[in-house]
């Protein structure tokens, strides 16, 4: 037991590889004798040194700092063993805190990036869902037997034909290709022209980037009360009554 007590001051130096000469030989001979207590304490010192090696940055320490560390680990040093263990524990704690702080910052950045990606995916999903619903509504109108087709021809110029499909129960679908885009302060406006009275707005629309129009609306009134459908170029937001000559007009038979 007295030998074990004396060996305590050798553990850290031996674990660091700094114990030399007769002291090293004495400790190794003691361990070879089968002392389980000292063997366990040496393994603890090795574990602590290993943790410092994993936590510390990969860099060669300055020569003067290395000399100070080795000197601090020498056996029979002036400082008590508890001070050495305290220094190692403090160093491990500081390095662990620095490592944990860096990991937290990195994790927060990754979470922020994932949140932004998730928000973008949800927005995209909402857009796709809306587009799917529009096409399903259009298909329902186009496939219904009561739907009436109206062809709107351009009054002048080489504009494409616009086709309207009107079903009093399901709504009206406006379809066209290669429709010219308008300035940002202008919009197309669809009108139901009744057999008697002023035109009734059926909403505003704009073609997409490819010039495609797929506009779905629910006009007021009945088909048999309408004489025609017309489309004009109006200021953004539309107007209560047409302010320009219709670009497309289609009679309802």
pLDDT digits (tens, 9 = 90+) for 162-210: 999 999 999 999 999 999 999 999 999 999 999 999 999 999 999 999 9
The answer to whether residue 73 scores a pLDDT higher than 60 is: no
The answer to whether residue 215 scores a pLDDT higher than 90 is: yes
Report the distance separating Cα 160 and Cα 79, nearest Å.
95
Q: Is 216 exposed, middle or buried (0-12, 13-18, 19+ CB in 10 A)?
A: buried
């Amino acid at each position: 037991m007295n030998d074990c007590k004396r060996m305590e001051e050798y553990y850290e130096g031996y674990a660091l590889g700094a114990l030399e000469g007769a002291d090293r030989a004495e400790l190794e001979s003691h361990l070879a004798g089968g002392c389980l207590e000292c063997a366990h304490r040496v393994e603890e010192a090795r574990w602590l040194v290993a943790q410092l090696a994993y936590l510390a940055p990969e860099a060669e320490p300055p020569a003067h700092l290395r000399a100070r560390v080795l000197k601090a680990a020498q056996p029979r040093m002036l400082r008590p063993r508890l001070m050495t263990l305290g220094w190692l524990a403090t160093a491990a704690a500081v390095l662990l805190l620095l490592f944990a702080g860096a990991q937290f910052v990195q994790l927060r950045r990754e979470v922020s990036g994932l949140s932004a990606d998730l928000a973008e995916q949800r927005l995209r999903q909402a857009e796709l869902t809306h587009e799917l619903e529009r096409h399903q509504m259009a298909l329902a109108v186009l496939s219904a037997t009561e739907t009436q087709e109206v062809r709107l021809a351009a009054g002048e110029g080489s504009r494409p034909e616009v086709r309207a499909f009107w079903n009093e129960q399901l709504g009206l679908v406006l379809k066209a290709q290669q429709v010219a885009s308008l300035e940002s302060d202008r919009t197309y406006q669809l009108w139901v022209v009744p057999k008697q009275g002023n035109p009734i707005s059926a909403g505003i629309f704009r073609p997409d980037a490819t010039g495609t129009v797929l506009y779905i609306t629910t006009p007021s009134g009945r088909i048999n009360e309408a004489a025609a459908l017309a489309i004009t170029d109006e200021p953004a937001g539309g107007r209560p009554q047409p302010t320009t000559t219709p670009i497309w007009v289609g009679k309802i038979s």
